[in-house]
Amino acid sequence: MSDKVTSNEQFANPELAAVRIDEDSEDLSRSEVLLKGALAAGAVYGTLAVGPFVRKALAMTGGSDVDILNFALTLEYLEAKFYEEAKTRAKASGELKSLVNLLASDEKQHVEALTATIKDLGGTPVKAPGVDFGDAFSSADAFTTLAITFEDTGVSAYNGAAPMIKSKEVLAAAGGIVQVEARHAAAIRLQNKEEPAPEAFDPPLDEKQVLKAVEPFLA
Amino acid sequence: MADMKQLAGPQSRRKFLAVGGGSTALAAFLAACGSDSDSMSTSTTTMKPAGKSETAQFGKGDVGILNYALTLEYLETAFYADVVKSGLFKGADLETIRKFGMEEAEHVQALTQAVKSMGAKPAPEPKAEFPLESAKSVLELAATVENLGAAAYLGQAANIESPEVLASALAIHSVEGRHAAALNTLLGETITPDGAFAKPADVKTVLKSVEPFIVG
């Protein structure tokens, strides 16, 4: 069991710099867990309260709420079509198959709800995009890998766009959707034997970054 | 964890997740998607009462919301630390729990710094005790707390004034959703107890649920 002295000039709490935590111990006390978390988060936040990724989110310029919802709708269409196709084409069985059915149903409901809300706001919903998922259905592994990309990207897209939403009600609704996307992400990751929550903070992505991630699949 | 799949269904957990906050758009979403028969929808016609903020006891405005979240994150961190030490879990499940605990600790740090940066005093770490009777009961409690925590963040999103604070809260909120879904999966339960649209929980409900664990 080794003691580690961890130091970081940029710690938000300089007094943490000299903290020794027995990294190998399984028996960290509550205080030690808190300190360890502080060290980890301190590496992200440095001396600033607002992490670099939060500042990035604020640098994004948003359009109207309808624009934002239409952006979300495109992503939801992509996911809905992906899972709908997966029902017949992905080589999924057992738990994964059940999950695919749930995902397909949820994303379809998201599409319907976003479409209705955009109309209610007096906007015109975007049309369903053409899609091409390549060889994503060649194996269960290929499928889950792409599903993880879509869900993780979806979470970050919502997290990136939400601070720009003007209506509190639209924001609350978007929040209800993003949480479900995060749940989806965790579930698929578990199916692929990956960590459900790899990071303590889900970063926001701007529209350009999101489109870069999903563009290959828009026909 | 095959034996973990026998357990009380989502109903017992939903007791803790009374829908609150009142979001008319959520109501529209629910109406738009049609049937809502599986979920509690009692709050969809309730508007948030004007006047005193729900989190006033924790501080003013965004500070109150952050300190409310901080209090919950302290509880989660302490809970996971205790669970890791309990020896009830091994292998992959232990690693999952340990990781979740570390993430909650990072949330504590982020929220603490956010409050300090606003020139306010961070909420104190509450003294808490958690029942650790069996792996199954612990997993159930973890799932309850995480599902509740996610709902708590969702319940406050629309109340946050600063876009910076909102961005931070959202970055945490979705991770709590991941935790909740992972634990639900470990328990053999649905990853989306509220269906396609997660529901918010109000402060009163959340605090009432965690009250039993706070001692002194």
Q: What is the pLDDT of residue A96?
A: 95
Q: Is the pLDDT of residue A2 over 90?
A: no
Kindly give the parts of chain B with pLDDT less than 50. 1-49
Q: What is the pLDDT of residue A53?
A: 47
R_g over Cα of chain A: 20
Please state the φ and ψ torsions of residue A4, each to the nearest 5 degrees. Answer: -115, 130
Closest Cα partner for B146 from B112, B101, B113?
B101
Burial A151-182 (b: 16+ CB within 10 A, else e): bbbbbbbbbbbbbbbebbbbbbbbbbbbbbbb
**Chain A environment of B179 (Cβ under 8 Å):** 186, 196-197
Report the C-alpha dihedral over residues B170, B172, B173, B176, rounded to 10 degrees: 160
Q: What is the pLDDT of residue A21?
A: 56
**Chain B environment of A168 (Cβ under 8 Å):** 158
To which residue do tokens 């979920």 refer?
A: B39
ipTM over 0.85: no
CB-CB contact of B44 with B173 (8 Å): no
- Inspect the interface and report whether the beta carbons of B172 and A201 lie closer than 8 Å: yes
Q: Among partner residues A117, A186, A204, which is closest to B181 by beta-carbon distance?
A: A186
Q: Which two tokens stand for residue B201?
A: 């929980």
CB-CB contact of B68 with B203 (8 Å): yes
Q: Among partner residues A27, A42, A197, which is closest to B109 by beta-carbon distance?
A: A42
| Residue of chain A with shortest Cα separation from B23 | A169
User: What amino acid occupies position A57?
Assistant: A
Q: Is A5 helix (H, G, I), strand (E, B) or coil?
A: strand
Alpha-helix runs per DSSP H in A90-167: 94-120, 140-161
Strand partners, B192: none
pLDDT in tens, A42-97: 655 443 334 444 545 444 556 899 999 999 999 999 999 999 999 999 988 999 99
Q: Nearest 5°: CA angle at B104, between B100 and B107?
A: 140
CB-CB contact of B202 with B20 (8 Å): yes
A199 CB-near residues (< 8 Å, 6+ apart): B103, B175
Q: Which two tokens stand for residue A57?
A: 């989110």
Please state the φ and ψ torsions of residue B129, each to the nearest 5 degrees. Answer: -135, 140
User: What amino acid occupies position A38?
Assistant: A
Q: What is the pLDDT of residue B11?
A: 40
% of chain A surpassing 90 pLDDT:
68
| Residue of chain B with shortest Cα separation from A204 | B171
* Number of CB atoms found within 10 A of residue B60's CB: 13
Q: Give residue B18's Cα distance to chain centre.
A: 12
**Chain A environment of B106 (Cβ under 8 Å):** 37-38, 40-41, 44, 200-201
CB-CB contact of A114 with A63 (8 Å): no
3-state SS, one letter per residue, for chain B: CHHHHCCCCHHHHHCCCCECCCCHHHHHHHHHCCCCCCCCCHHHHCCCCCCCCCCHHHCCHHHHHHHHHHHHHHHHHHHHHHHHHHCCCCHHHHHHHHHHHHHHHHHHHHHHHHHHHCCCCCCCCCCECCCCCCHHHHHHHHHHHHHHHHHHHHHHHCCCCCHHHHHHHHHHHHHHHHHHHHHHHHCCCCCCCCCCCCCCECHHHHHHHHHHHECC
**Chain B environment of A27 (Cβ under 8 Å):** 84-85
| Residue of chain B with shortest Cα separation from A164 | B163
Helix, strand, coil percentages (3-state) for chain A, rounded to 5, are 65, 5, 30
| Residue of chain A with shortest Cα separation from B156 | A172
Q: What is the pLDDT of residue A28?
A: 79
Mutate to test the interface with A, among B1, B37, B80, B174 (most CBs of A within 10 A): B174
Q: Is A22 helix (H, G, I), strand (E, B) or coil?
A: strand
CB-CB contact of B145 with B14 (8 Å): no
**Chain B environment of A57 (Cβ under 8 Å):** 163, 167
User: What amino acid occupies position B109?
Assistant: Q
pLDDT in tens, B115-169: 999 999 999 999 999 999 999 999 999 999 999 999 999 999 999 999 999 999 9
**Chain B environment of A38 (Cβ under 8 Å):** 105-106, 108-109
- Inspect the interface and report whether the beta carbons of B197 and A163 lie closer than 8 Å: no
Helix (H) or strand (E) holding B86: helix B61-86
- Inspect the interface and report whether the beta carbons of A196 and B179 lie closer than 8 Å: yes
pLDDT in tens, A100-134: 999 999 999 999 999 999 999 999 999 999 999 99
Q: Is the pLDDT of residue A7 over 50?
A: no
Q: Is the pLDDT of residue A37 over 60?
A: yes
**Chain B environment of A169 (Cβ under 8 Å):** 23-26, 158
Mean pLDDT of A3-26: 46
Number of A/B CB contacts below 8 angstroms equals 261
CA atoms of A59 and A51, how far apart (whole Å): 13
pLDDT in tens, A168-211: 999 999 999 999 999 999 999 999 999 999 999 998 998 899 99
